[in-house]
Amino acid sequence: MSNDVWRPGEDKSPEKDNEFMLESYEKGSGEHTHVHEDYDPSQPMSFEDIRKLDEKYVLPVYARMPVAFQYGSGEFLYDTEGIEYIDFLSGIAVNSLGHSHPDLIETLASQADRLWHTSNIFFSQNQAMLARALVEITFPGKVFFANSGAEANEAALKIMRAYGQSVDPKKNRIVALENSFHGRTFGAMSMTGQGKIHNGFGPIVPEMIYIEANDKDSLMAAVDSRVCGIIMEPILGEGGVLPLDPEYLQLARDIADEFNAMFTLDEVQTGMGRTGKYFTFQHYHIVPDMLTIAKGLGGGFPIGAAVVAEKFTKVLGSGAHGSTFGGNHLGTAVGYEVIRTIESGKILENVVKMSTYLMGELRKLAKKYPEIIRNVRGMGLLIGIVLPEKMEARDVVKKALEKNLVIGRAGNNVLRLAPPLIVRKQTIDRVIERLDALMESLKREHPGK
């Protein structure tokens, strides 16, 4: 391996002509045909080589955008050619503190130097410290650690079911929202209220009821004593960056109490400062019985967690649930540093300030392009730009990429912006310029939409 890490602006690989890299890897290297001994991840291959390898060897479950990033710094990403992109997606609300944050690098490197993994059969200092921090920024209770949002939600599903069983064997129903998204594992997928995500995998986990978001009547009709849990995202992410009404959330809280069901909030995407408070529920006067967290918690390192309120911490006892990697030394060290950085860097204040500015600028664009921008909604730095119903957000995301701007989509016709929480005003201004040009070109392509 080379010690010369490639940086944007430098010539590509100092050692290899990367035009021929894949060809030489394909030939193998004598005795070692399975791995190429001088393969060096710090040296970029050409995009075409990466694409060819991906097509040949990676299961095609993702509809990929035509770029491979090789390097990141703050609000910026750099592709294999060294071309700079503004990152207004943060790996879908994950790299909240931007790329290559020096404190996160230092924490990860120093932990990697000492200990990576032991097992959950042993105590862990980092896990205990992060659990304490998470309880302190949420509500009194205890934490289960996982590696992803889906796994945090799997734990939540088991806890809701186990609580129900402890009251009455028939208390096993879960109420979730239509157009919600809770992950791709079986339980999380089953709680997800989208037929297109279940298609081809049936039968899904039984006793799931999906109701329309923000419709109080459906909520009241769906919940009775057979319900063991209600799960909601306070802002539907995949469902088009659609915030739930505060009164609706309050009703869900009250109704869960009335029928002795657990009220779970999935803040995998909306948590860890994304909306200007640590968690979105903190904007309202409600506290859930359980909270699932992932994405921003590790700043890019995989980690998930479920915080369980005091009253429910005995629902699962020893041996009832677990994970080999959940709460691993590396992830929990980084998670703790993420929280410390959010506090010391006054990150929540920055989210509020930058969100007000960004929303204002986007609303100006909406006025300028009413035929393209139908609405701007969201909270903090999770923002949806609603396009006309027939316009494919995916095509617009691709066009933004051609303008060196990374954004995402949320549903078919909503653009999702989730910039890093450290975003600066000058970067927002550059993004608005690019979006303006993008909207102008869309207007020309879709006259009269």
- In this structure, what token pair is assigned to residue 165? 């069983």
Q: 210 - beta bridge partners?
A: 176
Residue 9: how many other CB atoms lie within 10 Å: 9
- In this structure, what token pair is assigned to residue 448? 């009269």
- In this structure, what token pair is assigned to residue 161? 């079911």
Q: Which element (helix H / strand E) includes 361? A: helix 347-368
**C-beta of residue 107 within 8 angstroms of C-beta of residue 283:** no
Stretches 62-70, 112-120, 145-153, 332-340: which one binds ligand PLP (CB under 6 A)? 145-153
Instruction: Tell which one of 13, 43, 96, 148 touches ligand PLP (CB under 6 A).
Output: 148
Q: Kindly state whether residue 137 participates in binding ligand PLP, applying the rule CB under 6 A.
A: no
Q: Kindly state whether residue 149 participates in binding ligand PLP, applying the rule CB under 6 A.
A: yes
| Residues belonging to the chain | 449
Determine the residue with CB nearest ligand PLP.
Answer: 149
- Residue placing its CB nearer to ligand PLP in the complex, 153 or 282: 153
Question: Within positions 151 to 170, which residues make up the interface with ligand PLP, using CB under 6 A?
Answer: 153
Q: Kindly state whether residue 181 participates in binding ligand PLP, applying the rule CB under 6 A.
A: yes
Binding marks (x or -) toward ligand PLP, 207..246, rule CB under 6 A? --------------------------x---x---------
- In this structure, what token pair is assigned to residue 449? 């939409």
CB of 193 to ligand PLP, least distance (A): 12
**C-beta of residue 397 within 8 angstroms of C-beta of residue 65:** yes
Question: Within positions 76 to 135, which residues make up the interface with ligand PLP, using CB under 6 A?
Answer: 92
| Distance (Å, whole) CA 164 – CA 158 | 10
- Residue placing its CB nearer to ligand PLP in the complex, 148 or 264: 148
Q: Kindly state whether residue 150 participates in binding ligand PLP, applying the rule CB under 6 A.
A: yes
Instruction: Tell which one of 44, 183, 296, 326 touches ligand PLP (CB under 6 A).
Output: 183
Instruction: Tell which one of 21, 134, 255, 268 touches ligand PLP (CB under 6 A).
Output: 268
- Residue placing its CB nearer to ligand PLP in the complex, 12 or 182: 182
| Distance (Å, whole) CA 349 – CA 85 | 25
| Distance (Å, whole) CA 204 – CA 83 | 44
173-177 and 227-232 strand pairing: parallel
Q: 74 - beta bridge partners?
A: 99
Summarize as ranges the residues that interact with ligand PLP (CB under 6 A).
92, 148-150, 153, 181-183, 233, 237, 266, 268-269, 294
